[in-house]
Chains A and B, each alone.
Chain A
Amino acid sequence: MVVHWQDVAAAGAWGGLLALERRAFLQAMLSRPLVAATGMGLLLGELETGLYIGMLLELFHLGSAALGAALPENETLAATGTTAASACMATGEGGGGTPALWAVALLLFAGLGVLGRRVDRRLEGVSAHLADRAQQLAREGELERAVRLHGFGPLPYVAAFGLLTAGCALAGFALSPLVHALPLAGLRGLAWAFPAMACVAAALAARASHAQRGGLWATLAGAAVVLGTLVSGWFSR
């Protein structure tokens, strides 16, 4: 097994940084799958891998939102972890990313969103402890120290999600020889799996848009694309 440790470190750093953005600062959507995965792909030298995995997971998680105190699945971990694993599977044996590798990574790692939610829930306990401590300090008149505890809130998230993402990159390197040893028919099948999953993710996105007559809008736009492609193909002949 070949491991590029600088890739593992870069994946961990990007995963941790995005956990900070998602959880604590600004929430400017850098942690959404399309952006997070594309950034990860760029960092690991597999831009196309990041872009297409990010696009699929963006569509898959399009309707996810933290409403009230409810926690959604952690789509950021799913995106960064899947992209890191896929990119490392590709670079581990010296090849480039292909739809077959993206499909393997998605089938194995897309469920990380559920794990991420569990980690989020666990770490809320640390934040609750900080808030209790802040109340206690404020009652004792230590106001500056009390409010400063707020800054410690994101640190466990950065550490936990950084480590998990780095773990996905390592898993990618470990899986690389196995995936590259797959028979040709298996690889062709996996190459078919990616567009099928992308279409399903897009259909799920149309449903998750919560639009009135969402199905109608999606069908009309899909029909327009098919018609436009057929007409342009006919003219180009």
Chain B
Amino acid sequence: MSPEAPSIPRPIRWRVFRRSLFLQASWNPKGMQNLGLAWALYPALCWLYPEPEARKAAVLRHLSPFNTHPYVAAAIVGGVLFHEERIARGEEGPERVEAFKRALMGPLAALGDGFFWLSLKPAVGALCCALVPVLGAWSAVLFVVLYNAVHLQQRIKLFRLGVHKGDRLVEGIAEEHLPVWGARLRAVAAACAGGIAAWLALQFGTHQGGWTGPLLAAGCLGLGAVAYGLVARGVSTYLLLVLAGLLAGVAGAFL
């Protein structure tokens, strides 16, 4: 590519973005997302490096170990395009793109894990579980819609940030205030979980009826409170689930 050559055409950029949605498909303990990254970038590398040797070197440098959060990876994929354009023009050396990936994959993974995996997913999951009594099966549809409204919009935004800002994408990500939103979403998750626990206990108590109804409701709530305390002390969650089931089963059979 000559120094005057234009940047990567938009259809190729979007092809790279679409391929980045498959980033994790060949995740492995050695190279992690390396093959996925090389596959996503391949259309752009073919366009930037028509000469076989330069193209081979470009593919090989993206087959080195790479791992980050799969959504936030969109920012790195965009940033790699930003750098590869400059490398192809001869404005910077290939070590710049490798340093860019190394510097950002860890911090962005932590940011993505904290926001998407540990905040957005639990909050949307707990909210939709709490809405099961109201919406029925539509709560599963709502889960997919709500989660992806945020997820897909962020993924596209991060990719654009990477393509247009390169190393300065960090400033754009900082403006999103993801950790602040994450803390709020985690509180939503906890509140929804508490709400659905109480609703379940009351509903099954009402359904049972008679003198055992209030007993079942109170027993369920008590079991939940005990489980909350025990799991903090390292008791296995499976053990708690099975014990609760067996205890209630024995009570139901003999009362």
Interface residues of A (CB under 8 A from B): 23-30, 32, 34-35, 38-39, 42, 47, 50-52, 54-55, 58-60, 62-63, 65-69, 99, 103, 106-107, 110-111, 124-125, 127-128, 130-132, 134-135, 138-139, 141, 143, 146-154, 185-186, 188-215, 217-226, 229
Would A192 and B251 count as touching, CB distance under 8 A?
A: yes
Q: Are B35 and A153 in contact, with the CB atoms below 8 A?
A: yes
Q: Do B137 and A51 have beta carbons less than 8 Å apart?
A: yes
Interface pair A185/B194, CB less than 8 Å apart = no
CB distance from B210 to the nearest CB of A (A): 12
CB distance from A97 to the nearest CB of B (A): 13
Cβ distance A152 to chain B, nearest Cβ, rounded Å: 7
B113 touches A67 (CB 8 A): yes
Segment with Cβ contacts to A, from B3-11, B76-84, B87-95, B218-226 = B218-226
* Nearest chain B CB to A10 CB, angstrom units: 17
B119 to chain A: closest CB distance in Å?
Answer: 8
**Looking at the complex, which one of A186, A218, A224 makes contact with B190 (CB distance below 8 Å)?**
A218
What chain A residues lie within 8 Å of B225 (beta carbons)? 203
Residues of A within 8 A of B216 (CB): 192, 195
Contact with A along B141-157 (1 / 0, CB 8 A): 00110011001100000
Are the C-beta atoms of A204 and B227 separated by less than 8 Å? yes
Residue B165 at the chain A interface, CB threshold 8 Å: no
B190 touches A196 (CB 8 A): no
Residue from A51, A63, A219 within 8 A of B194 (CB atoms): A219
Q: Are B183 and A212 in contact (CB under 8 A)?
A: yes
Does B109 sit within 8 A of A, measured CB to CB?
Answer: yes
Task: Judge whether B21 is part of the interface by a CB distance below 8 angstroms.
Answer: yes
Q: Which of A30, A124, A138 contacts B63, CB < 8 Å?
A: A138
Task: Please tell me if the beta carbons of A222 and B198 are within 8 angstroms of each other in the complex.
Answer: yes
Instruction: Given A107-B245, A196-B245, A209-B186, check contact A27 B24 (CB 8 Å).
Output: yes
Which 6 A-B pairs have CB atoms at the shortest separation, nearest pair first? A218-B194, A192-B252, A153-B26, A189-B253, A196-B248, A202-B197
| B111-149 vs A, Cβ < 8 Å mask (1 yes, 0 no) | 001000111011111101100100011011001100110
Count contacts on B: residues with CB < 8 A to the other chain: 97
Residues from 181 to 208 in B contacting A, C-beta threshold 8 Å = 183, 186-187, 189-204, 208
Q: Is the CB of A127 within 8 A of B197?
A: no
CB < 8 Å neighbour of B251 from A47, A54, A110, A189: A189
B27 x A138 contact (CB < 8 A): no
Q: How far is the CA of A218 from the CA of B199 in the complex (A)?
A: 12
Other-chain contact of A203, B121, B144, B193, B252 (Cβ < 8 Å)? B193
Question: Distance (Å) between the CB of B27 and the closest chain A CB?
Answer: 6
State which residues 233-254 of B face A: CB under 8 Å. Answer: 237-238, 240-242, 244-254
Closest to B245 in A: A193
CB neighbours of B103 from chain A (8 A): none
Which residue of B26, B34, B202, B231 contacts A226 across the interface (Cβ within 8 Å)? B202
In the complex, A65→B112 CA distance in Å?
A: 11
Alpha-carbon separation in the docked complex, A24 to B35 (Å): 12
Q: Is the CB of A69 within 8 A of B67?
A: yes
Cross-chain contact A124 with B126 (CB below 8 angstroms): no
Given A69-B67, A143-B59, A200-B224, does the pair A217, B191 have CB atoms closer than 8 Å?
yes
State whether the Cβ of B38 lies closer than 8 Å to any Cβ in chain A.
yes
CB within 8 A of A204: which of B39, B113, B231? B231
Which residues of A sit under 8 angstroms from B119, Cβ to Cβ? 210
| B50 interfacial by beta-carbon distance below 8 Å | no
